[in-house]
A = this chain, B = another copy of it.
Amino acid sequence: MTDDRFARGKAIRDEAYGKEGLKSWDELHKICPTHADAIHEYCFGTIWDRPILDRKMRELITIAVGTALDIPHEVSQHTRGALNRGATRDEIIETILQCSPYVGFPRTNHALKAAQNIFDQWDAKQDEWKSL
């Protein structure tokens, strides 16, 4: 049932992206509720909630996608999610490095800096970033 997926999606997001994730979602929900609801119901509640690959693996895959699409903000968000799900910094850096022969060096540079920026702030920003 859709309500069930919506709730599970919200829980997955809270778990991965903490208070800041909730804040971002609220901002999008004010602009376009349909889209914000699809983020919970389809993106997190349908795709992220699936078996076979665990959630840490899914965060690493999504970091790779953010690198390929040249969207550092997604790399940042999923770096936070990966750390919350037990990934090491090495695993995150290696994931981005694995992309480099395929996406080229500029996109790799952008992603590495985005990830490092999260690492640098990780302890200071725990209140906003830790799992809810």
Contact = CB atoms under 8 A, between A and B. Distances in A.
Given A38-B42, A65-B64, A65-B68, A98 B31 contact: no
Main secondary structure of the interface of A (DSSP, over half): helix
Interface band, chain A: 35 or more
A104 B20 CA distance: 21
A95 B59 CA distance: 11
Contact of A52 (B43, B91, B104): B91
Interface in A70-116: 70-71, 73-74, 88, 90-91, 93-109, 112-113, 115-116
A96 B69 CA distance: 15
Contacts of A43: 101, 105
Interface in A36-59: 38-39, 41-43, 46-48, 50, 52-53, 57-58
9 contacts: A28-B113, A34-B47, A35-B105, A35-B109, A61-B98, A69-B70, A71-B107, A73-B106, A74-B106
